Structure 1
Amino acid sequence: MTLPDTRVSADVRTGDAGIPTALPARVGVLGGGRMGAGIAHAFLLAGARVHVVERDAAAADAARDRVETALSRSAQKGIEIPDADTLTVGTDTAAFAGAGLVIEAVPEDRALKLDALARIEGVVDGAAVVASNTSSISIDALAGSLARPERFLGLHFFNPVPASALVEVVTGAVTTPEVVGAATAWVQAIGKTAVVVRDAPGFASSRLGVALGLEAIRMLEEGVASAHDIDTAMELGYRHPMGPLRTTDIVGLDVRLGIAEELERAFGARFTPPALLRELVAQGHLGRKSGRGFYEWSER
């Protein structure tokens, strides 16, 4: 059997034609939750001026606190942090005007993301690259309503962003090679490693990660072993830095459930969420952010 060639050509990786591969001077992030704040933190440390936009004043204040807390932790580790005026946080997407890159980081809901992307595209100019931080929703499905889908792609960051070394660069059917090349260079500029994948349900990381996580939940549900022992088996036996159940707690059980439901629609029963996952989410046990998931968390 001949396998398809999914390698990315050199010009895609280097972004030689048309779009500067130097980090944009201004970067926008729509959504200042845990992921959005982490993305903002990464670009601030790399030297960009970052604009975070949230839905209301209270959410904007919370977003600012998240980013500033992350910057303080970096300073405690001896990392040089930028001046305070390089971060602006507000509620008006007009702040994105003139940004070279804007990333939406709203919750994993197709309607919310479509609305977010429309708001971004209504403000930025034709030279801007727009990206989604989606972990499972089709990039082509999101691009369908955009006026400039060729300048749109996925930039899938991982939680927690400061500690994660990976970003998935997800290419849509009409994303230009120059956009992919520039985005790959920008990921490298913020000190992370880019993997380039074509648009497919769950991309590479979510599809594999969720498959492992769901099976671990089924094993826990069936009483095969405790959460600790299932995780330890993967950490010591397969050298995973963190077991699948603890990883699910950090990602968020509600996030994992939403991704599993998206993958179930695409691939069928092998991604059907276990009853235990649904029960815990219904009870509000979402993992680290709620204080309890498969583990008890004293710090959120």
Structure 2
Amino acid sequence: MKKVSVIGGGTMGNGIAHVFAMSGFEVTLVETKQEFLDKALNTIEKNLSRMVNKEKISESDKTETLNRIHSALDISEGVKDSDLVVEAIPENFALKKKAFEEIESAASSETIFASNTSSISITKLAAVTHRPEKFIGMHFFNPVPVMKLVEVINGLETSPETTKAVMDLAEKLGKVPVPANDSPGFVSNRVLMPMINEAIFCVYEGVAKPEDVDQVMKLGMAHPMGPLRLADFIGLDVCLDILNVLYDGFKDPKYRPCPLLVKMVNAGKLGNKTGEGFFKYD
């Protein structure tokens, strides 16, 4: 693989483009508006500059990385010559379905499709295309340039060749790939989200204040970040979306989103990105 397309330049997408370009791949970053592309490229430039300041890379490394990142405002144009397409748009099946239908119509028959979804069924997404054997989950973690883990999710028809190619690719990016089979929430969010949800229930039921819930988990369980601070970092809307996928997928009440989480999302208090969630941010 030499050419990679990343669909979506948000928090995850720009990080994914960043790590591929740093690893020597030609990357096309696809967005719907120029302002979104500009914001994504600006974020990548700032993150690379931070790495230069910390003497992790040289100024020439930064320049070469940025030169390997190209941009497109049209999916058809952005994916036509790619060996791999990584979708990193919001956690909504309808949006992803529409994107993969467009990608399918323009990409080569040999192109591997990967989704960065954190909870939606890879098998269900693969069924949108005519290449389920070349469809896989490639779940990166935020911040992508820093976090080592990549969950590699096999759909029902993902071929062993596709799995091996993506596992090898993740290692070339300096990541640690961990395989999992398709199931709601995979491993990471199936374990993480119920913990976050239970922490929110502790606040909702008046057991403790947010800062005290987080303090217990940091000091008692050695978590580097409390679950409510982590929820703000992820985005409360994203947490709610994932919990809804888990609840719909398993029909088990233990995944029922806390009413407080629903209320906060409805109020637009989504965490870091809006300046307020369980905590306030500048």
The match for 1:144 is: 127
Residue 44 in structure 1 maps to residue 21 in structure 2? yes
SS at match of 1:245: helix
Structural mapping, 1:75-224, within 5 Å: 75-78=52-55, 79=57, 80-83=61-64, 84-93=66-75, 94-224=77-207
User: Could you tell me how far apart the structure 1 residues matched to 2:41 and 2:111 are?
Assistant: 24
User: Could you tell me how far apart the structure 1 residues matched to 2:186 and 2:27 are?
Assistant: 27
SS at match of 1:122: helix
After TM superposition, what 4+ stretches of structure 1 lie above 6 angstroms from structure 2? none
SS at match of 2:82: coil
Bigger Cα displacement from structure 2, 98-107 vs 82-91: 82-91
User: Could you tell me how far apart the structure 1 residues matched to 2:143 and 2:270 are?
Assistant: 15
User: Could you tell me how far apart the structure 2 residues matched to 1:67 and 1:118 are?
Assistant: 28
User: Could you tell me how far apart the structure 2 residues matched to 1:215 and 1:181 are?
Assistant: 37
Aligned residues with identical type, % of pairs: 43
The match for 1:295 is: 279
Bigger Cα displacement from structure 2, 102-111 vs 121-130: 121-130
SS at match of 1:81: helix
| Unaligned ranges ≥5, structure 2 | none
SS at match of 2:106: coil
The match for 1:280 is: 264
SS at match of 2:86: strand
Could you tell me whether the CA contact under 8 Å between 1:44 and 1:82 is conserved in 2? no
Could you tell me whether the CA contact under 8 Å between 1:257 and 1:277 is conserved in 2? yes
Structural mapping, 1:236-275, within 5 Å: 236-267=219-250, 268-275=252-259
Could you tell me whether the CA contact under 8 Å between 1:45 and 1:82 is conserved in 2? no
SS at match of 1:130: strand
Could you tell me whether the CA contact under 8 Å between 1:63 and 1:89 is conserved in 2? no
In proportion to residue count, which structure has more helix?
2
Could you tell me whether the CA contact under 8 Å between 1:250 and 1:288 is conserved in 2? yes
Give the alignment partner of residue 53 of structure 1, picking from 30, 44, 53: 30
SS at match of 2:273: coil
Bigger Cα displacement from structure 2, 116-125 vs 280-289: 116-125
SS at match of 1:170: strand
How far apart are residue 113 of structure 1 and its match? 0.4
Residue 235 of structure 1 aligns with an amino acid whose one-letter code is: K
Paired residues, what number?
275
User: Could you tell me how far apart the structure 1 residues matched to 2:215 and 2:145 are?
Assistant: 24
Residue 41 of structure 2 aligns with an amino acid whose one-letter code is: R
SS at match of 2:229: helix
Give the alignment partner of residue 229 of structure 1, picking from 199, 212, 215: 212
Q: RCO greater where, 1 or 2, for CA within 8 Å and sep 6 or more? A: 1
User: Could you tell me how far apart the structure 1 residues matched to 2:63 and 2:215 are?
Assistant: 39
Bigger Cα displacement from structure 2, 60-69 vs 168-177: 60-69
| Unaligned ranges ≥5, structure 1 | 1-23
User: Could you tell me how far apart the structure 1 residues matched to 2:46 and 2:31 are?
Assistant: 17
Please provide the CA RMSD for this pair.
Answer: 1.3
How far apart are residue 194 of structure 1 and its match? 1.0
User: Could you tell me how far apart the structure 2 residues matched to 1:61 and 1:175 are?
Assistant: 35
